[in-house]
Amino acid sequence: MPVIAITLDPQMIAVVKKRRTLILGPQDQGNLSIDDIRKNYNHERAWWNAIKPKMDSVEELSVPGPVRDIALRIYRPFNQNPRPTLLYLHGGGWVVGNLDTHDRVMRLLAQFSGAAVVGIDYALSPEHKFPVAINETLAVIQWLESSGRNHGLDPTRLALGGDSAGANMAVAATQLHHQRHHQAIRFLLLYYGAYGLTDSWSWQQYGNADYEFTREEKAFYLDSYLANPSDHADSRFNVLNGDIVCLPQAFIAAAECDPLHDDSVALHEAMRKTDRPAHLEVYPGVLHSFIHYSRLLDKATQALRDGAHALAKALG
């Protein structure tokens, strides 16, 4: 606790203390089943999502995917029709998370931006390993382009976004989609993603229990998600190895005290080197996953507002 007390925002410390009261049972993932890990995660996230910003409407539907039907949730803010559209991919290490664990995040992004936010309940690992979730995202993009207007969504003003694992997939899906449909996706909204670095300075500094993200957890998530050792270098995972020049403009948010901080810096630098417009915003004194905690953490609300305003400016 002394390291956290020195470096973290006081509100972030309050979040850490609150989270400890919400955790069910032991947290050593090596001794828990996948079902128990998800149960713990969902229970802890429920408190942060209990206060729900009002929407004009929220629609649940499903669309056909490559291996199963894909559940979607459309958040429509007030007084916008047809709406620019943000397809949002939740974080959770490709293993945990769903539309409910990120409900407040998506509602606030819709409220602050005026865009419709479409949450994708993509297939989780290890039941569905890489690249199933990316292929499902591509299927949703294709559905939006063919059928989105039937749901008040404007496919000509399309953004992809996500946090952590979701940010990784948002970049990967954009790179893949733009190989066939150049600049169909006009904006990326990215929160503390994993983009391909393996042993950065930020991992050395913050990859431990004091900062709530350990190397053991990283290995667990990657082992659960990736099917083969060669997948680590695949540009659909290591997006820094992908076609950076095909990316649209991006808002890249990083948490200062996060092992993945340097991934955001690396993506920003790669985009700058290829003359792609990108803005990097680093939020001081906060941990990975901080945008979840807007009930107690002002910087979470600010980061969501900053990203939403950048989205609105890009899409009109």
Assess whether 151 carries a catalytic annotation. Answer: no
What's the CA gap between 212 and 288, in Å, rounded?
8
Question: What is the C-alpha to C-alpha distance for residues 121 and 73, in angstroms, rounded to an integer?
Answer: 8
With b for 16 or more beta-carbon neighbours within 10 A and e for fewer, the 181-210 pattern comes to: eeebbbbbbbbbbbbbbeebebbeebbeeb
Mean pLDDT, residues 248-276:
98
pLDDT in tens, 96-117: 999 999 999 999 999 999 999 9
The count of C-alpha atoms lying within 13 angstroms of the C-alpha of 246, restricted to the half-sphere facing its C-beta, is 20
| 2-315 is a CATH 3.40.50.1820 domain | yes
pLDDT for the residue 281: 98
Tens of pLDDT, residue by residue over 102-158, are 999 999 999 999 999 999 999 999 999 999 999 999 999 999 999 999 999 999 999
Structure tokens at 95: 């293993």
Closest C-alpha among 295, 251, 300, 245 to residue 275: 245
Mean pLDDT confidence for 264-277: 98
Residue 43 token pair:
């229970």
Query: Which pLDDT value is given to residue 271?
Result: 98
Tell me the pLDDT of the chain averaged across its residues.
Answer: 95
Residue 257 CA to residue 184 CA, distance in Å, equals 34
pTM for the complete prediction? 0.96
Contact 12, 297 (CB under 8 A): yes
User: Other CB atoms closer than 10 Å to residue 54's CB: what's the count?
Assistant: 9
Using alpha carbons, list the distances in angstroms from residue 8 to 200, 204, 257, 288, 297.
20, 17, 8, 12, 12
| Residue 288 a catalytic site member | yes
Selected catalytic residue, list 113, 125, 154, 164: 164
pLDDT band of residue 5 (cuts 50, 70, 90) is: very low
- Asked if omega into 53 is within 30° of 0 (cis), the reply is no
Q: How far apart are CA 72 and CA 67, in angstroms?
A: 15
Quote the pLDDT of residue 244: 98
User: Amino acid letter at 51?
Assistant: I
| pLDDT, tens digit (0-9, with 9 covering 90-100), for 255-266 | 999 999 999 999
Residues 6+ positions from 71 with CB-CB distance below 8 Å: 60, 61, 62, 99, 121
Q: Which of 9, 103, 258, 262 is catalytic?
A: 258
Amino acid 316: pLDDT: 85
Rounded Cα distance between 296 and 21, Å, is 14
**In this structure, are residues 105 and 291 in contact, taking their beta carbons and an 8 Å threshold?**
yes
Domains of the chain by residue range: 2-315
Confidence of residue 95 (pLDDT cuts 50, 70, 90): very high
164 in active site = yes
- Which of 151, 177, 261, 288 is labelled catalytic? 288
